[in-house]
Amino acid sequence: MLNVPSQAFPAVSSQQRVSPAGQPRNKVALKPGHSLMDWIRVTKSGRDLTGLKGRLIDVTEEELKKHNTRNDCWTCIRGMVYNVSAYMDFHPGGEEELMKAAGIDGTDLFDQVHRWVNYESMLKECLVGRMVIKASTAIKVQPSKPVNTFVDGFAPPTTSLLGSAVATTKDNRPRYDWFQTEDTVNIVIYTKRKIPRSGCSVVDCQGNVLRLELLLGRWSYLLHWSLSHEVEENVVVQTVSSVGKVEVNLRKVLKAKWAQVGQPLESHDSFIQSKHLGLFYRDCVLVSKKEVTHDTQLFCFRLPPGAHMDIPVGRHVYLKASIQGSEVVKPYTPVDQELMPQIHSNNTQSSEIYLMIKVYPDGVLTQHLDSLDPGATVSMSGPEGPFTLRCLQDITHLYLLAAGTGFTPMARLLCLALQDVPSVRRTKLMFFNHQERDILWYSQLEQLCAEEERFQVEYVLSEPAGSWTGKRGRIDATLLQAFLDRPGDSKCFVCVCGPTGFTELTVQLLKQQGFSEKEIHAFKT
């Protein structure tokens, strides 16, 4: 999903994130003439958005503090100062959210919501200058490799298929080895934990640069080389999930012995939280578009030669495009080609990515995507998101609450629960839409419900036709109470995804009905 209307800081092209505690963020209706395209037009109009007539200055902390009002609002992001006064009326999160960063360093606030947004592009005409940092207040750089800490605060590792906690001490860090033949170079990574059967590898080999990232829960293990010699574009990744081994096979262009794999590049052999790595984009080719509903299509993208991507369940990718000279970025959750694909075998090569995208009449990026013909390219990031399979450990009842394209993260999660999580005795989906024609993969859901006794689906329509015999209305406590069963021996988990207002209200209602934060995951949009 993750293509619902947005309210984000700082870019109008971004998507609202639900706060970890489920607390509501302000949602404002933008005035007519204040869309993303309108903001792009403003930035290209030649208007002086900084008040400095094109002059860049060095900004001290004292100077920054002076500019903290609605009509004179400066903020600092990663050492650069922007005058965001003109952006106030274009900010989907509202003036209040933007004013939280008025006159101060707003980097942390920005990173909490949308660290992936290309704010340099969105605010380039608002740039005041560089922040001057006093030597005495310089930040000390922390080591990039954590030592003697536990992933997500959990205890030492177990052997759970669903991604148990793993200590980041030296003994538990992944390690790699390599060997070669006359024709091939083979890199073997030992993760020292079981990994999902669907894999965890993201490989990009372009030219003589190899970037290999393993997604291990909320952490990443990165190998990054400038290779000693050229290799062919074809990359083969083999995964043995039960022992946590990943092997990457490269074919040499010339038959010759290598003295080493290559020269290490930035962050090579690092094991750090994924959010600290930053996003890596590659150009993907649009293969096809297939209609799912009247306004939603299934886009198939092919990764470039030399790339391989395993996308964990519950993660999303970002699409990036330059539209009228400005970069627009949006997150989307990949789905499989169909609701219940055949069980993946080991060594499946992940070269095609499917995204189910609703095309909005005023959606800048979705309109751009809809206009593309097969063969066009779009930049796609690697997988992102905090969801890990560990939260499904020992779950007996899985409840999915989705609205509109909020169904997309539920699709692969549903498949996983029915195929790979034997502890789950029942999976129930409550799916909210406006009209019957809006229901995504309706026939496939009905077929699955008929064939799988552990699965149940309920549809709720807010604008049903007179012939509709199912549930009507919107999310409320009464609907939830009837939908959620909590048998005495059960261990329940609830996933929520939809437009911001839907998600925030649903999380609040769930807590009112006794569900704890550990029993709820809100996919962030």
pLDDT digits (tens, 9 = 90+) for 283-292: 999 999 999 9
Query: CA separation (Å) from 339 to 291, 372, 407, 408, 449?
Result: 15, 25, 11, 10, 12
Tell me how far CA of residue 409 lies from CA of 162, 360, 402, in angstroms: 17, 19, 9
Residue carrying the six token digits 């309210």: 7
The whole-number average pLDDT for the span 478-499 is: 93
The span from the CA of 483 to the CA of 505, in Å, is: 16
User: Domains along the chain?
Assistant: 36-137 (3.10.120.10), 142-385 (2.40.30.10), 394-522 (3.40.50.80)
Of residues 197 and 233, more confidence is placed in 233
What pLDDT is stored for residue 407 in this prediction?
Answer: 97
CA 391 to chain centre: 17
Of residues 150 and 337, more confidence is placed in 337
pLDDT of 127 > 80? The answer is yes
pLDDT of residue 203: 96
Task: Give the pLDDT of residue 196.
Answer: 84
DSSP letter at 72 equals E
**Tokens 């790699």 appear where?**
176
pLDDT at 485 over 60: yes
Q: Which among 92, 357, 247, 111 has a CA at the least distance from the CA of 101?
A: 111
Cα–Cα distance for residue pair 495/401, rounded to 1 Å: 6
Per-residue confidence (pLDDT) for residue 468, from 0 to 100: 94
Output 25 or 249, whichever has higher pLDDT: 249
What is the average pLDDT value for the chain, to the nearest integer? Answer: 84
In the structure encoding, which two tokens stand for residue 202, read together? 């993201």
Using CA atoms, how far apart are residues 357 and 360, in angstroms rounded to an integer?
9
pLDDT band per the 50, 70, 90 thresholds, residue 26:
very low
Q: Could you give the C-alpha distances from 63 to 56, 59, 75, 77, 373, in angstroms and in order? A: 14, 6, 11, 15, 50
Residue 10's pLDDT is what? 35
What's the rounded Cα separation, in Å, for the pair 390 and 521? 12
Q: Are strands 57-59 and 127-131 parallel, antiparallel or unpaired?
A: parallel
Residue 203 near residue 235 (C-beta atoms within 8 A): yes
Contact 352, 303 (CB under 8 A): yes
Helix and strand numbers (H, E) in the chain are: 10, 28
The 10s digit of each residue's pLDDT in 248-282 is 999 999 999 999 999 999 999 999 988 888 889 99
Mean pLDDT over 405-431 rounds to 94
The pLDDT value given to residue 114: 65
Residue 163 has pLDDT above 80, yes or no: no
Q: Rounded to whole angstroms, how far apart are CA atoms 50 and 55? A: 9
Within 8 A by CB and 6+ apart from 176, the residues are: 187, 188, 189, 190, 223, 269
